[in-house]
Amino acid sequence: MKKRAGITAMGFYFPRYYVSIRELLIARGEDPARASEGLGVQRMALLANNEDSITMAANAIESLEFPKEKVGKLVFATECGLDAAKDNASYVHELCGLPNNCEAYDVKAACAASTYALWQVIDWILSGRGRNKLGLVICSDIAVYEYKTGAEITGGGGAIALLIGEDPEIIDFDLAIGDYKNNVKDFWKPLGKECAVVAEDGKPSIKSYLDALKPSFKNYIENGGQKKFDYLVFHTPYAKMVIKAFKELSKFLPEIQGKFDTMTADSLKAPALVGNIYNGSLYLALASLLELKGTSAKGKSIGFYSFGSGSSSKFFRGIVNPEFESSFGLFEQLDRMEKIKPKHYEQLRRGERTLKETKGFLLNGIDDQGYRQYHKE
């Protein structure tokens, strides 16, 4: 029988605080329809001062129950690496008490790093080198844009942990993958900068996302990919980008025309409640879709479009386990987030106020040699 590998469990961490984008735009005297109708964004998740990409990742792993001693590989996908030499994965490996006989490292390819990581772990299992162990893919990012720019309200943050194993309980993947790589000056984040640089107010980044769709899909078909999809999920920087992508895909996959509401709309609900979480965005879209479709998703085929600025993209397909039953409690977790007032958000951005988290893994500080210190509350 064919050996299979895929996602066996998903864990989530979202920051405690958010600002309502509608309230923020109204408070600024701007038209809130730019957010609701123009971009399809509702909330922006905000990190506390004592959180970072490492604490979010460790908290996402801790939300899962699994035999830690069975983990043989951890791949951390982020565009929020915190040291040019030391990987985020080393800190998380220690915080979560993972075994020493385990590979653990970071990968970087903007928002597509999570998909590169996923396939590295799947290939490790399918090659037999995993020796029946489990793999972990961590997607953890903070999306912060320059204050009062067009991109600002598409910010967000959060982490997703994907537990990867044989005979996956959630989703199994076909081996046909379409790849497309193209060096583009669209979006980048110079070392040491908190905010990404978005070229020409974001127009090249939208073009680059859409331009990569056709060649990656074409390559997927050339590599033996099947054209049958019950659902489609896309990297989701904000909902409107996905609406545009679905329309673009329907030009060369006419059978999906007019099916956005049944095939994709549910994948946009959770991302709209936290904003762009970069590497986790595609997998948050998947979780949102699965949570809302419930048991009707059993055995269904899902097409995935992963995109990372710069640019890297992959098109691939997965099949939901015919016995898939689990609910992630995703929307309950999102409901527990606490809203802050627009005026407090403005103070945060101007450096006049900070937020503090009191639960889970927290950053204690950074010593005078630049080494990071954490603890768990």
Place of tokens 């590989």: 73
Does 154 contact ligand HMG by CB under 6 A? Answer: yes
Does 205 contact ligand HMG by CB under 6 A? Answer: yes
Task: Give the HSE-up count for residue 33: Cα atoms under 13 Å, Cβ half-sphere.
Answer: 1
Choosing from 176, 195, 206, 253, the residue that interacts with ligand HMG (CB under 6 A) is 206
The backbone torsions φ and ψ at residue 130, rounded to the nearest 5 degrees and listed phi first, read -70, -15
Choosing from 45, 75, 198, 274, the residue that interacts with ligand HMG (CB under 6 A) is 198
Find the part of the chain contacting ligand HMG (CB under 6 A) among 147-155, 173-181, 257-265, 368-376. Answer: 147-155
The number of residues that bind ligand HMG (CB under 6 A) is: 28
- Of 337, 370, 260, 304, which Cα lies nearest the Cα of 15? 337
Does 216 contact ligand HMG by CB under 6 A? Answer: no
Choosing from 77, 122, 125, 241, the residue that interacts with ligand HMG (CB under 6 A) is 241
Place of tokens 């509702």: 42
Q: Which is nearer to ligand HMG, 53 or 205 (CB)?
A: 205
CB of 261 to ligand HMG, least distance (A): 18
Does 79 contact ligand HMG by CB under 6 A? Answer: yes
**Are residues 19 and 46 in contact, defined by beta-carbon separation less than 8 angstroms?**
yes
Does 306 contact ligand HMG by CB under 6 A? Answer: no
**Are residues 106 and 114 in contact, defined by beta-carbon separation less than 8 angstroms?**
no
Does 111 contact ligand HMG by CB under 6 A? Answer: yes
**Are residues 79 and 278 in contact, defined by beta-carbon separation less than 8 angstroms?**
yes
Q: Residue 45 belongs to what H/E stretch?
A: strand 43-46
Q: CA–CA separation, 72 vs 70, rounded Å?
A: 6
Cα 233 to Cα 21, 163, 269: the distances in Å are 24, 19, 12
Does 31 contact ligand HMG by CB under 6 A? Answer: yes
Find the part of the chain contacting ligand HMG (CB under 6 A) among 15-23, 28-36, 216-224, 257-265. Answer: 28-36
The CA-based angle 192-46-13, given to 5 degrees, is 95
Q: Residue 347 belongs to what H/E stretch?
A: helix 342-349
Choosing from 4, 34, 108, 372, the residue that interacts with ligand HMG (CB under 6 A) is 34
Residues that bind ligand HMG (CB under 6 A): 31, 33-34, 37-39, 79, 110-111, 150-151, 154, 187, 198, 201-202, 205-206, 209, 235, 237, 240-241, 276, 278, 307-309
